[in-house]
Amino acid sequence: MAEPQQQPLPMDLQQAACSGPLKKRPRQTDAPVASTPHNIKFQDLVLFILEKKMGTTRRTFLMELARRKGFRVENELSDSVTHIVAENNSGSDVLEWLQVQKIKASSQLELLDVSWLIECMGAGKPVEMTGKHQLVVERGFSASPDPGHQMTLPLPVKKISPYSCQRRTTLNNQNQIFTDAFEVLAEDCEFRENEMSYLVFARAASVLKSLPFTIISVKETEGIPWLQGKARCVIEEIIEDGESSEVNAVLNNERYKSFKLFTSIFGVGLKTSEKWFRMGFRTLSQIQSNKSLKFTHMQKAGFLYYEDLVSRVARAEAEAVSLLVQEAVWAFLPDAIITMTGGFRRGKNVGHDVDFLITSPESTEDEEQLLPKVINLWEKEGLLLYCDLVESTFEKFRIPSRNVDTLDHFQKCFLILKLPYERVDSAKSSQQEGKTWKAIRVDLVMCPYQCYAFALLGWTGSRQFERDIRRYASHERKMILDNHALYDKTERMFLPAESEEEIFAHLGLDYIEPWERNA
């Protein structure tokens, strides 16, 4: 889909968007010029434009322009002001200025960059305030203009969404001591199939990963979603004692340790783990030496290549696998689009497996037979160690599933490939001395071109991000989203999308890059 050409801003807004103060024109008279009265269209917004680092001339120009567009702009800061607009200032700079003026900042006061006001004027109405507009206040910021006047300003100024699809979460986790603890507790709840408790800890870990500062006091968790109740108690204990007694109890629990070990085997899930635990098994050698147990084809492969599969896949190895996939797929379908998804698309340098999404702009018989042909090729080349091909059950006009964890209906194959170390950059691979290859878990997913954007969003992850964006679609937009489509329940229609950006736009969300979805 061709992108619409961006319309140039009107000349007055081009002038407003220019950084730096406007050049002063020679004044015709020293008499003050009265502001022309304008019709106020947006009564709920009261703006104050900060002169600091902007200059008098540019401030006057912006005030007059905003008033002409229907905004209420105050000459002086008063209690009625709801939004302070600044240029080239941080949130801390603005709050420090307020303190010097001996004005107490309200937690309801929005501190915004001038770019927000310019976008509002361009749209002719107030636009949504996003992270790029809101001025950042340094954690723990406080200032004292004089010894007798001490005021700590309310933090955080910026509200944090309960949905991870409205937060930007990079790999720069500043609260790992807490998130590691919550992930252990969440995993234990998952092993016990306690969904509600799992979500409590998973959401707490997710929101902590998105914070741009390290929590050093339990008071800093106030107002942050998902950090109340049990989660808050865990944080408080870690701050006071350096560790959580509950987490330590889980890590030393025999059931948790056994489930952690058993589920590390390819092909072993919770039901099999429960069965083995009840039978008294605690080690892999006990299981493998038991003659009465019968293993699936997948589990046999899991035991056979266990050491390789349980080790992490390095990015260099993932890139080498990507070349193998490209060579094989393009040999049969030259116009195929191949995208590495999962954690590697989100910027991670290690992972447990490598996932690929494959599609083609032209739907042909070659596309339907592609995966079997690729599998046969790798088998002939001696690279195929294990394969499970799942045929497509996709229906074009099926209403999306309400189950956020449902598997999609595309054709896919779950593989173990033999990756020759000669194909990997030796300086970056995790090869063992004496070995010439490594077993790597690889998933290939073949989807119709009209579903590609939805499948790409779903297979990129993270797991919590996918949960939240589907929950947001359902609870906030009355839509159903899955790996196949987006359905508007109000309009009773499917909403097409050729890119992830279009899906976010349908949902009324700011686009979040893959590397910011590590929730």
Q: Which of 93, 100, 92, 9 has its CA nearest to residue 54?
A: 93
At residue 147, the pLDDT reads 39
CB count within 10 Å of CB 303 equals 16
pTM over 0.75: no
pLDDT average, residue stretch 337-359: 97
Choose, from 355, 408, 468, 482, the residue flagged as catalytic.
355
Active site annotation includes 146:
no
More confident residue, 204 or 216: 204
Choose, from 93, 188, 308, 353, the residue flagged as catalytic.
353
Is residue 437 within a helix (H) or strand (E), and if so which, with residue range? strand 437-446
The full set of domains in the chain, from first to last, is 11-21+36-152 (3.40.50.10190), 164-251 (1.10.150.110), 254-304 (1.10.150.20), 310-450 (3.30.460.10), 463-516 (3.30.210.10)
Q: Over the chain, what is the mean pLDDT?
A: 86
Cβ-Cβ contacts under 8 Å for 139 (sequence gap 6 or more): 155, 156, 212, 213, 214, 220
Structure tokens at 147: 């010894």
pLDDT at 217 over 80: yes
- Residue 95's pLDDT band (boundaries 50, 70, 90)? confident
At residue 33, the pLDDT reads 39
pLDDT average, residue stretch 188-206: 96
Active site annotation includes 12:
no
Choose, from 12, 388, 443, 510, the residue flagged as catalytic.
443
420-431: per-residue pLDDT in tens?
999 887 555 556
Structure tokens at 238: 């870690």
Active site annotation includes 353:
yes
483-519: per-residue pLDDT in tens?
999 999 999 999 999 999 999 999 999 999 999 999 9
DSSP β-ladder status, 83-86 and 46-49: parallel
Q: In the chain, pLDDT over 90 holds for what percent of residues?
A: 63
State residue 445 phi and psi, 5-degree precision: -125, 125
